[in-house]
């Protein structure tokens, strides 16, 4: 077979006489080299899988978990036990995962006195400490807008202000968070019904049902929804172990989250973290169905308004202000004792 011997691809060609193909040493090595290199390339291309952690692949139990509203009590207990196991494995903290039900005869309403808010942003960090959002990348539910006195122009508001002291001259501050609308556009657009409004007025998310399409973030007129673009990072010592299924349990990458009025606290009668920390007492929270509550008084007697009333979302978050304006916010010059006392 002179033709076969002279051809470089001789090993690959079938012989002419109908016998089974003969594998030459040269053909084996060349084809083997190609196969080995190809396999190496495939293995190298899959090499990012080396960084996969055990928690990155959902367990079968999690994968088959039903929607929150379709779960029976036993299935909820199982899901809560699974979440507690996962949190303990990841953070080394034994969490206290609860699922407090909405209270009957309670509709939560929030009121914020913008003539008393000084823009110190303590509410932002009290919320972060309570609700276990990602620290890096940073997720914060409350955005404090600094605006000029005399208008409510959100287009020119600044939420990156960082002067040495607040309040600044000629500015007022308008913290914005989830308004827990009675007609929430975020719920309307969700294609998988992973977010819904609870009977006490809080719009919640089932983080295990969310597919991360971010339609709700686009629909929200108050920029209140936050997305976990990357794996949330929470230092273990900063994890709040008192968590609940619908609010502040640690979220996975790729799901939405939002303010829930701290339902893990408020459904057991406590104040939200942002109310508790506010140094000026600008933030008010309570049950609007109780006529004796502070918020019922404020809505009845104070000058209350909602943000973007024209979009028809009927928020449960009200801003109000004092009749005498905010002249108490005038900045105080450093005080020097006057000789002989002021007269």
Choose which of 79, 91, 107, 159 interacts with other proteins (CB under 8 A): 159
For 2, residues 6+ apart whose C-beta sits below 8 A from its C-beta are none
Footprint of other proteins on 282-301 (CB under 8 A): 284-287, 293-294, 297-298, 301
- Determine the interface stretch with other proteins among 63-71, 135-143, 198-206, 214-222 (rule: CB under 8 A): 135-143
Residue 44, beta-bridge partner list? none
Residue 110, beta-bridge partner list? 285, 317
Residue 244, beta-bridge partner list? 98
Q: How does 305-314 read in b/e, with b if 16+ C-beta sit within 10 Å?
A: ebbeeeeebe
Output 139 or 204, the one with its CB closest to other proteins: 139
Output 149 or 188, the one with its CB closest to other proteins: 149
User: Is residue 93 within the footprint of other proteins (CB under 8 A)?
Assistant: no
User: Is residue 49 within the footprint of other proteins (CB under 8 A)?
Assistant: no
The distance of closest approach from Cβ of residue 14 to other proteins in the complex, given in angstroms and rounded to an integer, is 18
Instruction: Please give the helix or strand (H or E) that residue 317 lies within, else none.
Output: strand 317-321
User: Is residue 54 within the footprint of other proteins (CB under 8 A)?
Assistant: no
Footprint of other proteins on 230-249 (CB under 8 A): 230, 233, 235
Does residue 179 contact residue 319 with C-beta atoms inside 8 Å? no
The distance of closest approach from Cβ of residue 17 to other proteins in the complex, given in angstroms and rounded to an integer, is 24
Q: Going residue by residue from 187 to 206, which x/- string records binding to other proteins, judged by CB under 8 A?
A: --------------------
Count of CB atoms within 10 A of residue 290's CB?
13
Choose which of 85, 143, 214, 311 interacts with other proteins (CB under 8 A): 143
Alpha-carbon distance of 260 to 194, in angstroms, equals 14
CA atoms within 13 A on the CB side of 232: 28
Alpha-carbon distance of 213 to 259, in angstroms, equals 18
User: Is residue 25 within the footprint of other proteins (CB under 8 A)?
Assistant: no
User: Is residue 40 within the footprint of other proteins (CB under 8 A)?
Assistant: yes
Alpha-carbon distance of 11 to 167, in angstroms, equals 84
Output 171 or 203, the one with its CB closest to other proteins: 171
User: Is residue 302 within the footprint of other proteins (CB under 8 A)?
Assistant: yes
- Determine the interface stretch with other proteins among 83-91, 190-198, 277-285, 306-314 (rule: CB under 8 A): 277-285
User: Is residue 1 within the footprint of other proteins (CB under 8 A)?
Assistant: no
Instruction: Please give the helix or strand (H or E) that residue 287 lies within, else none.
Output: strand 283-287
For 300, residues 6+ apart whose C-beta sits below 8 A from its C-beta are none
CA atoms within 13 A on the CB side of 11: 10
Output 60 or 332, the one with its CB closest to other proteins: 332
Alpha-carbon distance of 4 to 22, in angstroms, equals 11
User: Is residue 77 within the footprint of other proteins (CB under 8 A)?
Assistant: no
Output 120 or 306, the one with its CB closest to other proteins: 120
User: Is residue 178 within the footprint of other proteins (CB under 8 A)?
Assistant: no
The distance of closest approach from Cβ of residue 184 to other proteins in the complex, given in angstroms and rounded to an integer, is 22
User: Is residue 262 within the footprint of other proteins (CB under 8 A)?
Assistant: no
User: Is residue 335 within the footprint of other proteins (CB under 8 A)?
Assistant: yes
Choose which of 1, 23, 34, 192 interacts with other proteins (CB under 8 A): 34
User: Is residue 268 within the footprint of other proteins (CB under 8 A)?
Assistant: yes
Alpha-carbon distance of 272 to 266, in angstroms, equals 6
User: Is residue 76 within the footprint of other proteins (CB under 8 A)?
Assistant: no
For 181, 194, 238, 269, 275, the CA distances from 197, given in Å and listed in that order, are 9, 10, 29, 19, 22
């Amino acid at each position: 077979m002179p033709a076969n011997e002279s051809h470089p691809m001789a090993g690959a060609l079938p012989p002419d006489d109908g016998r089974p193909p003969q594998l030459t040493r040269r053909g084996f090595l060349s084809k083997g080299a190609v196969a080995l290199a190809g396999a190496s390339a495939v293995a190298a291309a899959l090499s990012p899988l080396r960084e996969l952690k055990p928690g990155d692949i959902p367990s079968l139990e999690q994968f088959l978990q039903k929607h929150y509203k379709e779960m029976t009590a036993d299935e909820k207990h199982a899901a809560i036990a699974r979440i507690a196991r996962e949190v303990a494995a990841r953070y080394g903290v034994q969490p206290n995962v609860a699922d407090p039900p909405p209270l009957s005869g309670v509709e939560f309403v929030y009121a914020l006195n913008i003539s008393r808010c000084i823009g110190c942003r303590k509410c932002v960090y009290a919320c972060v400490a309570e609700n276990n959002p990602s620290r890096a990348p940073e997720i914060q539910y409350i955005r404090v807008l600094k605006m000029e006195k005399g208008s409510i122009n959100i287009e020119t508001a600044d939420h990156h202000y960082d002067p040495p002291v607040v309040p600044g001259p000629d500015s007022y501050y308008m913290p914005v968070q989830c308004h827990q609308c009675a007609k929430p556009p975020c719920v309307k657009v969700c294609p998988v019904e992973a977010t819904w409004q609870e009977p006490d007025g809080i719009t919640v998310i089932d983080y295990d049902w969310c597919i991360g399409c971010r339609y709700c973030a686009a629909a929200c007129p108050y920029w209140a929804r936050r997305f976990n673009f990357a794996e949330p990072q929470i230092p273990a010592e900063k994890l709040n172990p008192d968590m609940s299924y619908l609010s502040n349990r640690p979220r996975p990458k790729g799901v939405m989250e939002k303010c829930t009025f701290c339902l893990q606290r408020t459904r057991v009668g406590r104040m939200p973290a942002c109310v508790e920390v506010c140094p000026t007492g600008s933030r008010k929270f309570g049950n609007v169905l109780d006529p004796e509550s502070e918020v019922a008084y404020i809505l009845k007697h104070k000058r209350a308004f909602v943000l973007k009333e024209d979009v028809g979302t009927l928020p449960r978050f009200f801003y109000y202000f004092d009749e005498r304006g905010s002249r108490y916010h005038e900045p105080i010059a450093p005080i020097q004792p006057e000789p002989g006392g002021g007269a």
